[in-house]
Amino acid sequence: MGIENCKYLQALELSFNKLSGAIPSNISTRLPYVIVLDLSRNNFSSEIPTNIANCVYLNSLKLDHNRLTGQIPQQLGQLTRIKTFTVANNFLSGLVPNFAIASVSKESYVNNSGLCGGPLEPCKELGRKLDETFKSGFIVGYAVSVVSIVTIFMSYCVPWEQMKKRKMMTLKKNNKRKEAHKVTKLLPLNLQWKNYKQISTLERWVTRMTFADFNKATKFNSDNIIGLGKMRTADKATLPNGLFLAVKRLYDSQ
Element (H, E) at 189: helix 189-202
Pair 16, 115 in one domain:
yes
DSSP 8-state code for residue 102: -
Residue 175 to residues 167, 169, 179, 231, 250: CA-CA distances in angstroms?
12, 10, 6, 15, 16
DSSP string, 15-33: -SS--EEEPPTTHHHH-TT
Domain span at 234 = 187-250
Please give the radius of gyration of the chain, using alpha carbons only, rounded to the nearest integer: 49
Residue type (1 letter), 55:
C
Report pTM: 0.51
Q: What percent of the chain has pLDDT over 70?
A: 62
Least confident among 5-19, 20-34, 76-90, 196-210: 196-210
Neighbours of 244 (CB within 10 A): 20
* Predicted local confidence at residue 43, as pLDDT: 97
CA angle, 172 as apex, 177 and 219 as ends, to 5°?
Answer: 60
Mean pLDDT (whole number) for 85-94: 97
pLDDT given at position 182 = 53
What's the DSSP call for residue 208?
Answer: -
Within this chain, do residues 114 and 41 fall inside the same structural domain, yes or no?
yes
pLDDT band for position 236 (cuts 50, 70, 90): confident
Does any domain span residue 149?
yes
Answer yes or no: do 51 and 91 share one domain.
Answer: yes
Residue 182 counted as domain residue: no
- Check whether residue 137 and residue 61 sit in a common domain: no
pLDDT tens string 29-68: 999 999 999 999 999 999 999 999 999 999 999 999 999 9
Total structural domains within the chain:
3
Same domain? 102 vs 21: yes
Residue 202 sits in a domain of what CATH number? 3.30.200.20
Which of the pair, 237 or 138, is modelled with greater confidence? 237
